[in-house]
Every structure is written in structure tokens, then in C-alpha cells.
Structure 1
């Protein structure tokens, strides 16, 4: 049973196919279709049973300009018998079409978790190990929940806090907010609820930091010892455990529904071919770090190498008159330029995964901050490094212009690696593995604490959900 938990199979000459947990996508490699003209093939996704009416949204294929196309579809009902996928070229079936996906296949909001997490992880082809997760938990051979209860509210739960305390029991999610700035809990709720609809989660109790900066700066041998706060961004001088950022998880969950730019749509909108891109480095962004202001000054002095502009002033408002304010640009237009400059914001710039998925060379600022996938990337293989003070930026741009083929090779290698690391099902695998690892390290049983409330699954009265699995028992409140 495929369900919406995600899966991966080989589809003949279509190449690797992967159904993500939030929606469905597969990759087609059709090398005999001219990429210079319009896409002449179409994909039809429909219920396998003619008696079953299933609403399925299938946007046009995304041309990745390398002979491959991404085809996405999002279901709004459950297909109990399964799905038929037809790939047509000039009205004729190609690439061993049609393909039959035996059901049931559930829509995103159908609550029907797989009872065996190992089956779920095998179905998604989850990696056996994630280097960043292993590194993060090395500081916490045992997690003392009582220490967490005593310390976290005092250290991080004051009026300016941005921490949410979660307990997961019997696949139900409970929470209480600690501090004033916890509105972003909508994003942490979102991924936890989505996971719980797909797989039985382990019982655990933890704290998520919704703020920008990592929180735990104690060293491993300090007394008292560090505590495992979960954050979206890590740093070299902190011990926080890292989850994929709210930005990329939300864009994955809401793709083809509530967001325009997501990790897949970027891949079909990477601008002109490499040879036709403007041979300059490019940057647009807010004034969230002083180096961004330096970028604009460099751009003014070296317009033949760099096009940089600040689109909004908040931290350095006094600089707007001197440096000027650039007009907002659509993100897809960034890739009209051959080189992309990635400079930190308040912490790691969350645009970085999107830049990596484009078809441009990324010039990445040296940084103490990182997201969950950075450890898999290498300088001069996946991106070109630049010093934190940007003193070598112009030199690196000149190098790229003088070594065009090598620059293009690095850009392609970075793009290819990012495509693999940032597939929707990989984000789910990673988030689940963090929760699983955390539960394994707990030294006592989690509990529903005073002040916690149940986070309900979102209702969807317009769609049907008939789960074939035995549902987990619901805890009486």
C-alpha cells in the first residue's frame, strides 16, 4: 500500500520516481524531446478505478533544462484502488506508459499513519545515517527530562523567549508556549502533525527554539551540562540539535497550494542557459548584516563584476540615503545572473538551499552558522567560498569569469547534490530521524505537563479519508 507516506521506485525509462509525503512528484528523463521548443508531452494522473472520483491537481511539467522534467501532482481525495499515470507525447504513450500505482493512496490530510516506522523509512529510502544528526546528539548520550523541566523555562522562557515545549504521546501532539515570541509555532506544529498523519511517532518530550539564534552555548564538559534544544539553525559555538528550517518544510508542505516558490518549482525556473546568463555576481536582500551593506558599496565601485542591492532597511536605516534602495525582484529572476552571492542574514541565509538548486554558481560567505544539510557540501566542489569580510569576493568573481568551464562544473555539482539532499521525502526522513534519535536518548518517560494543550489535526471536510490501517488508540483526556 503506497499511501501518502512517500515512496521511491524505478519507472522504467522515466528514471527515479519519488512520491513525497505532502504531494506527489516524479522525475522523467526524456532525452529525445527538443528542449528548445515547447514541451509537447503531457502527463495525466487519474484514479485507477473508473468508479472512483478523485480530485488531483497536475500542473505542467517543470523543465530542468538538462533533459529531465519534474512532474508534480497533489491529491485532494484518497484513491482506494490506486492511480494510473499516463505519459503522452503527441497523444501517444511513451516511456512504457501507463504506470499503475496500487492503492490505497491517501491525500495529505488523511490521518492514516504507518504503524511500523521501519517500513515507513524503507518505503521512503531514508538514509541509514545522517552525519549532522549524529554530530548533534554526540553531546547528549543521555537526555535528562527533569533537568530540561527545571532549566529551560528559567533560561529561555522569559518574556522575550521564543521556545515551545512539546510532548508527543500515542501519536498525539501537545504543547505549551514559553515566552512572548512563539507565533512561529504554526510551522513546528505543521511538520509534526504532517509526520503524525504518516507514521507512528515515538513518545518524547522536547523544546523547539523558534527564534533566529541557537540557544545552548554550554560546552560538553561544563557543569551544569548542556541541554538539547532543537533549533532551525546551528552554529559552531552552540550545541543545538538542528531540524530542516521552517522555510523549506513549509514550502514543501504547501507546494502547489499556499506558496509560489518551493524547492521543486525553483528547479523548473532556473533562467537562461549558462552561456546566456549575465556574467556578474548578484545579490538582493534586506540589511540584516553589515556585510550586505559592503556588498552594495562594492557593487557601486565595480558594476562590471557585481550587481547588489538592499531591498529593505531596518537595522541600518541611516544608510538608505547613501546606498539607495533596490526594487524587489522575483526570485526566479535571480538566475538570469551567472553567479549568486550568499551572505548571512541574522543567522544563516535561508535562501541558500534555493540558490543551490538554481543553475548558477553560488559564492558562499564563510559562516559560523549552518542548516541541516550544510555538512554534506564541500567548498570548491559544490560552491566557491568567500571570506567572511568579503575581501576576496571580487577576486573570486574574476576567477569564475576566467575559468568558466570549472565554474560551470561546480555549479552543476552543487545543484545535483542539493537536488538529492532537499527532495521532499528526505526532509521528512530527516525530521523523523531527529525525533527518533531524541526518544532513544531520553532517560525517563515523557508526560503531558501542566499548561499543555492538544494540537489537533487540521480538519478537511471536503475530502474523504478511509484508513485501511488499524488506528492507534486515542488517549482519553
Structure 2
């Protein structure tokens, strides 16, 4: 995925195009422009600074918090290069950074080039550069990091003793590309898998337990959430995308079950390294009901299906662990820095808040203190970080600054 930085090869990253991220949002824009919703960041002499703060109604999204915490940890493990960029924490990368019909990239707010926009999910048409979905990897109780610590316990349920009913659980909402943009191999538009597999569950309850949350299952009970720590009891796990990539897919890779993954157009930072039939079994691929054929094959070839789950688990533990994610962030920012046509400096921006201070602020905030494991980094680095203020001395100042920013309709 580091190759995606080549979108900057032609023009480089100029001050002019980065300044466009700070310009007042065009009132005619239907989509929320990155000048409002993106978190802008400068790294200078190894220190990470936030050059804008979110309004209160844009504060607290785990997609943003997780990235800030992981970026701060990366800055303490590695000497990060001088670079300026923006992080887009919404489900899909800004639609304005798109490839045109002639193969060029467009960004309508500057005459030349693309700004460096980092995102955790995108389609190939977007010019954003992917980073890990850090919030899902490290913040919740059932985060990737937490489940990785339980792999030993999961192994006590061998594949042969797991249920043969394929399991999936989700809310029913689907990405934009299930409205006709994604077609299966038979040329038909792919239906929303979350809704379609809910219907298939009622037709084939002996094969599928894929009821959407809040709807009745085939036995008349209401479907509810099932902890990820318990889903490994099924041989086959069905993964579907929501508004964008599934935050559960990374975790499913750890469980040792064979994953049946519905095809989609959006992808995450490591997806190109995965191989169908090697790390997962593709569904919603040949036709809308091919999940039934995949399950039939898996049950007739149990050893091969089990091997798919084992390879997925090995891949995840080797490549998606926290040290690898921090290394990836370091390497990505190093690549970005090679295209910088100017030296980033806080003097050009209206505010420049040390990232460590924002993390201390979030760790003390009544509504956000429990949304991530801030102390994992603060206890190691934050309290004697010479680039931040000692203790929580910046809390009241940052609280006031966040409150002074008008709420924006693009959030929440």
C-alpha cells in the first residue's frame, strides 16, 4: 500500500495544495469538504502537532481517537520525518479526490496536485492514502489487540468441534456501491449482503445464522449482538461491509474460523496482501447466492477450510500486530515526506497543539476518557514528554478551544 503515495509523483506536495485544506469550505459543496472534517497535522523535528481542533460534535469518534493515539505512539518509537497532511476519519475518503476519466487525479480546490489525505477506508477511485483503522485495532474492549491476546484461549475450541452453521451478525446498512455499482460475475447488480443474507437465513436456517440485529431469527427470537470472543465457536464466519470496510473483519482473521467475505469495492491498508481461497473464501462474487455453494464446498473439504482459517490467523498475527502497524505508519510518512515541496512549520498555521496534549485532554474528558486506552501511551511517554505541557495543565485551555468552534452539520 506504500505504492499509493505515487499519486504525488507528478506534482509533489506543494504548500498551495496543502493550504487548500485550510481554506473556507465552499458553500456549494454537497459533500463535507476536508477543510472541515479532516484532522490536519504537522510533524516537525519529530513532534506531532494538530493544526486544527474538532468542534464538540466532531470530537470523540473512535476512528479519529485511535489514529491520534497510534500516531503519537509511532512518534515515540520512531523519529518521524517533517511532513504535513490531513487525516480523514469518516467512512469513505473525500469524493473530491477522485480519478478522472482520462486517468488523472482531480482536487477542485487547488490548480494542481492532490493534498496528502490519509484515510482508513477507500475505493480505488479515491486519491487518499490508507492507514490502519487504528480505532478498531486498539480502542474497544473487543479490539484486535485484545483478541490477539486471547488467541491461546481460542485454540481450546478446535475447528472440528465448532458449529457448522455459518454465523454473521450486523446492523442493516450498506455501502454506496451496493446501489448498482458492484456487479457479480453473472453481470447482475450485487444486492446489499446484510439484507440479502438476513433473508437467506430464513430460507436456510440449518445453514446460516445471519440474522440482522433487531430482526427476528428463524425461531422467532430477536437477533442481538454476540461478543467477538464467542464467535470463534462457528467454523464459518460471514463478513460483510457496512458504510465502508467492516471493523470486524480484522478481528475475524484472528479467530481461526474460515471467513466467508462478501466482495466489495472499498478496502483497507492490508487488503491487497490477502488472497482469496488462501486467507478467506469470497462470496457475493459469482452470483448473489453463491454463499450456499461455498458452504457446500467447505463442508465437503473441511481440512482445506480449516487451513484457510489457520492461514488467516497466521497472517493477522504476523502482519497486523501493533509493532507492525507503527512501522507501517513510520514508513508511510517517510514516503510522504519525500514528496514535500516545502518545509512544514507551525508559523503558517493559526494553531499548533502538541498531539500529546490533545491525548491528555481526551483521557481526562468526561465523555471520551473511556473510549480508548490512552494510558498505554501516556504512562510510557506522555508525562515526561518534553514537547508537551506537564500533567494535565493544558486541559482547561483545550476544553475552551474545542467549545469555541461552531458545531458543524457534517458531524453526527
Q: 2:75 aligns with which of 193, 196, 206?
A: 196
Q: Report the alpha carbon displacement of residue 286 of structure 1 after superposing the two structures with TM.
A: 1.4
Give the secondary structure class of the aligned counterpart of 2:253.
helix
Q: Which residue of 2 aligns with 1:246?
A: 134
Q: Which residue of 1 aligns with 2:2?
A: 133
Once superposed, what is the RMSD of the aligned Cα atoms?
A: 3.4
Q: Report the alpha carbon displacement of residue 268 of structure 1 after superposing the two structures with TM.
A: 2.8
Q: Is 2:310 the partner of 1:412?
A: yes
Q: Which residue of 1 aligns with 2:398?
A: none
Q: 1:174 aligns with which of 43, 49, 62?
A: 49
Measure, in 2, the Cα distance between the counterparts of 1:172 and 1:400.
50
Measure, in 2, the Cα distance between the counterparts of 1:260 and 1:235.
23
Measure, in 2, the Cα distance between the counterparts of 1:260 and 1:443.
37
Unaligned runs of 5+ in 2: 107-111, 175-191, 361-374, 390-412
Q: Which residue of 1 aligns with 2:343?
A: 445
The answer as to whether partners of 2:144 and 2:251 remain within 8 angstroms in 1 is no
Q: Which residue of 2 aligns with 1:183?
A: 60
After superposition, what is the alpha-carbon deviation per residue over 1:128-151, rounded to whole angstroms, capped at 9, x for unaligned? xxxx112x1121111123212125
Q: 1:211-222 to 2 correspondence within 5 Å?
A: 211-215=90-94, 216-219=97-100, 221-222=104-105
Q: Which residue of 2 aligns with 1:398?
A: 296
Q: Which residue of 1 aligns with 2:148?
A: 264
The answer as to whether partners of 1:158 and 1:178 remain within 8 angstroms in 2 is no
After superposition, what is the alpha-carbon deviation per residue over 1:267-299, rounded to whole angstroms, capped at 9, x for unaligned? 234362111111121101111223212111101
After superposition, what is the alpha-carbon deviation per residue over 1:114-166, rounded to whole angstroms, capped at 9, x for unaligned? xxxxxxxxxxxxxxxxxx112x1121111123212125643676599421111
Measure, in 2, the Cα distance between the counterparts of 1:188 and 1:473.
19
Unaligned runs of 5+ in 1: 1-131, 313-318
Q: Is 2:13 the partner of 1:165?
A: no
Q: Report the alpha carbon displacement of residue 456 of structure 1 after superposing the two structures with TM.
A: 2.9
Q: Is 2:161 the partner of 1:276?
A: yes
Q: Report the alpha carbon displacement of residue 213 of structure 1 after superposing the two structures with TM.
A: 0.7
Q: Which residue of 1 aligns with 2:272?
A: 375
Describe the shift of the 1:211–1:340 C-alpha distance in structure 2 as closer, same or farther (beyond 3 A). same
Q: Which residue of 1 aligns with 2:262?
A: 365
Measure, in 2, the Cα distance between the counterparts of 1:435 and 1:143.
13
After superposition, what is the alpha-carbon deviation per residue over 1:420-458, rounded to whole angstroms, capped at 9, x for unaligned? 111221111111111111111111111211133333356
Measure, in 2, the Cα distance between the counterparts of 1:178 and 1:186.
11
Q: TM-score, normalised by structure 1?
A: 0.62
Measure, in 2, the Cα distance between the counterparts of 1:463 and 1:177.
24
Query: Per chain length, whose mean CA-contact separation is higher, i.e. which structure has more relative contact order (CA < 8 Å, sep 6+)?
Result: 2
Task: Count residues with an aligned counterpart.
Answer: 330
Q: Report the alpha carbon displacement of residue 466 of structure 1 after superposing the two structures with TM.
A: 12
Describe the shift of the 1:394–1:425 C-alpha distance in structure 2 as closer, same or farther (beyond 3 A). same
Q: Report the alpha carbon displacement of residue 238 of structure 1 after superposing the two structures with TM.
A: 1.2
Give the secondary structure class of the aligned counterpart of 1:428.
helix
The answer as to whether partners of 1:234 and 1:371 remain within 8 angstroms in 2 is yes
Describe the shift of the 1:160–1:282 C-alpha distance in structure 2 as closer, same or farther (beyond 3 A). farther
Q: Report the alpha carbon displacement of residue 243 of structure 1 after superposing the two structures with TM.
A: 0.5
Judging by fraction of residues, say which structure has more helix.
2
Measure, in 1, the Cα distance between the counterparts of 2:134 and 2:337.
22
After superposition, what is the alpha-carbon deviation per residue over 1:229-250, rounded to whole angstroms, capped at 9, x for unaligned? 1001121221210111023442
Measure, in 2, the Cα distance between the counterparts of 1:375 and 1:259.
22
After superposition, what is the alpha-carbon deviation per residue over 1:168-207, rounded to whole angstroms, capped at 9, x for unaligned? 1122222104676353332232112212222222111110
Measure, in 2, the Cα distance between the counterparts of 1:241 and 1:275.
41
Measure, in 1, the Cα distance between the counterparts of 2:380 and 2:104.
53
Measure, in 2, the Cα distance between the counterparts of 1:150 and 1:466.
32
Judging by fraction of residues, say which structure has more strand.
1
Q: Is 2:179 the partner of 1:311?
A: no
Measure, in 1, the Cα distance between the counterparts of 2:35 and 2:380.
42
Describe the shift of the 1:143–1:160 C-alpha distance in structure 2 as closer, same or farther (beyond 3 A). closer
Describe the shift of the 1:384–1:157 C-alpha distance in structure 2 as closer, same or farther (beyond 3 A). closer
Q: 1:319-398 to 2 correspondence within 5 Å?
A: 325-387=222-284, 390-398=288-296
Describe the shift of the 1:455–1:413 C-alpha distance in structure 2 as closer, same or farther (beyond 3 A). closer
Q: TM-score, normalised by structure 2?
A: 0.71
Q: 1:148 aligns with which of 18, 40, 58?
A: 18
The answer as to whether partners of 1:266 and 1:354 remain within 8 angstroms in 2 is no
The answer as to whether partners of 2:202 and 2:217 remain within 8 angstroms in 1 is no
